[in-house]
Amino acid sequence: MNNPTEGFIAVHLGAGQHSSTLKEKYFKLSQEACQKGIESLKSSSSVLEAAVSAVTVLEDSPLTNAGYGSNLTYDGNVECDASVMDGSNLQYGAVGAITGVKNPIQVAKCLCQYQTVNIGHGRVPPSLLTGSGASAWAKEMGIQCVPAENLISAKAEKIYKHYKRKVEGDCSKVTLQIKKRMDTVGAVCIDGCGNVAAACSSGGIILKFPGRVGQAAIWGCGSWASKGNISVGSSTSGCGEHLIRTSLARTIADCIVDADCPTTSVHNTMTSDFINSKFLQNLNEKLCGVIAIRYSAEDNIGDFLWSHSTNSMIIGYMNSRNKSAKSHMSTLPIADVGKKPIVEGVMFKLKNTKKIE
């Protein structure tokens, strides 16, 4: 019988343009997130808890654009988006433009689990809350809230001031530069029984309009998870507006369910349904990143895939049978950024194997 505490977790630190000088710090962070996720899976037997635990580690780091250290809005505040999806019951929870919450992914998880609560009088539990309403609900649920200014890191404030000055002087000179820091974070976890969950968290694009909500909060765009004979899960990153128009998380998950070759399927789908999408036809650059897991509980074999059209993407992954996680910085030539996708991946096994990733 397959073991629900045996599993595989993958994380991403976003698709964007990452500094090579910070590469080792990115790797260490991704490994810490994977380790925390696997520890959570073993103690709770819950893939949802595992995915959220991993993303919480990423939100707490100033290296990422999620939670503490998020990009600032045009008026200098932190507003975050996050979502989770539980593939075993297809429940979903999300927050958009939430302020004053240390870990938005925890609020999204609580909303996801709240879907089964009978709140009486025929009222429907919310699956997506935004702005002050989301913050008030988080406080009511006992989730840690902090003064909004406590979420602003020195790095984020420096970047904000740099681009704010340039935009107010001549925005035409910095449009491309601003686009490239869009590194949303996320995780996908699957156990030996095929239960799968996905999570996504983001501080949004630099100098975004206050109240703007990106793909990390939108159903089918930021995260996706579905359990079946073949279980799939995905989490995205990149320009939220591009990802929303193409429902990329669900699009990628759907394309690998019945694929003979998942790698080829992801490449073809990224090309036809994202780069060449009719919904993005007027854009010079189409910027995205995605991680995806495909797993057969019957065969105990899975594929972990990642793809992006940005300059770089940081990913990490770990099998519960391993002592440590692996990390990788995937890169795309500058000439191909926004125009061609790169697809990479590894296979993994969760049972009865001599060689395990």
Going by C-alpha positions, the residue among 214, 219, 220 that lies closest to residue 202 is 214
- Kindly name the residue from 184, 236, 246, 251 that is annotated as catalytic: 184
Q: Where are the beta strands (DSSP E) in the chain?
A: 7-16, 80-86, 91-98, 128-130, 185-191, 196-202, 223-226, 231-238, 288-296, 301-308, 312-319, 326-331, 342-349
d(CA 250, CA 252): 5
Q: Are 145 and 135 in contact (CB under 8 A)?
A: yes
Enumerate the H helices of 225-321 as residue ranges: 240-246, 248-257, 262-270
Let me know if 184 is a catalytic residue.
Answer: yes
Q: What residues have CB less than 8 Å from 265, skipping those under 6 apart? A: 255, 256, 259
Sign of CA dihedral 309, 213, 138, 99: positive
Catalytic residues, which ones? 184
